[in-house]
Amino acid sequence: MSHFHYDTESLVLGGVPVGENNRFLTLLTKEFGLVRAFARSVRVERSKLRYCLQDGSHARISLVRGRDLWRITGAVFLGELGNTVQTREARQLVARVFLLVRRLAQGEERNERLFEVVMALLVYLARESEIQKELSAAEQLTVLRILAALGYHSTPETFGSVLHDASLEPSALAHIRMKESQAVSEINMLLSATQL
């Protein structure tokens, strides 16, 4: 029986060890959405996949659909965006966003918008060195965009067009800072609607 190989751009959101050498990973992929996949012998020191599949890694991953689950057969390292963040507060922000995506994105469903929003946050945090004052606005805007990408729509007249773009431009962050209390109440209302 032949298997199809699927190559997809992915972010490694996290993983749990399985036995001594294996790992079960949660991937945010461009083509398949949230995928949970098994990586065999990835924790062995001589493994070629070991450094491509660290938490926060950006990689082009080859997947094979097995009977019960996805298996990772190869990976090409594209960058370590999740681990290049400088400050502790920014790393905590990345961890919160990864957790939110893992909790809210259910099943395998193509969602390029979600992938672009999370990538834009990681690129912004890796690029900017003086972002301490912008972290709150960046988190609020990213969470609103994630919720919108997953179908939890916010009121478009409140936030204008800033929810439609994926990048974290200074003008979009300034717009969110001006409407911070509305953004926080909107996020809280939408998160309570998820019933998680």
Range of the domain at 126: 86-194
Q: Are residues 58 and 96 in the same domain?
A: no
| Stated pTM of the model | 0.86
Q: What pLDDT score was predicted for residue 129? A: 62
Q: What is the CATH number of the domain that holds 22?
A: 2.40.50.140
Show which of 64, 81, 98 is a domain's final residue: 81
Domain shared by 99 and 24, yes or no: no
- 95 and 178 co-located in one domain: yes
Name the domain boundary from 81, 107, 123: 81
- The pLDDT tens digits of the residues spanning 20-53 come to 888 999 999 988 889 999 888 877 778 888 788 8
Task: Extract the residue ranges of the chain whose pLDDT is less than 70.
Answer: 1-2, 81-85, 128-132, 154-156
Same domain for 71 and 160?
Answer: no
Residue 108 sits at φ, ψ, to 5 deg, of -95, 110
Residue ranges of alpha helices (H) inside the chain are 88-104, 112-127, 135-149, 156-159, 170-178, 180-194
The tokens 């717009």 sit on which residue?
A: 175
The pLDDT score that the predictor gives to residue 130 is 61
| 77 and 136 within one domain | no
Same domain membership, residue 98 and residue 158: yes
Tell me what pLDDT residue 109 has.
Answer: 82
Query: What is the structure's pLDDT at 116?
Result: 92
Q: What is the pLDDT of residue 77?
A: 85
Last residue of a domain, one of 81, 104, 134: 81
Considering the domain architecture, whether residues 107 and 189 belong to the same structural domain is answered as: yes
Are 49 and 98 members of one domain? no
pLDDT score for 187:
87
Structure tokens at 74: 């190869």
Residues 133 and 69 in one domain: no
Segment 125-138, tens digit of pLDDT: 887 666 667 888 89
Tokens for 35, please give them.
């995928």
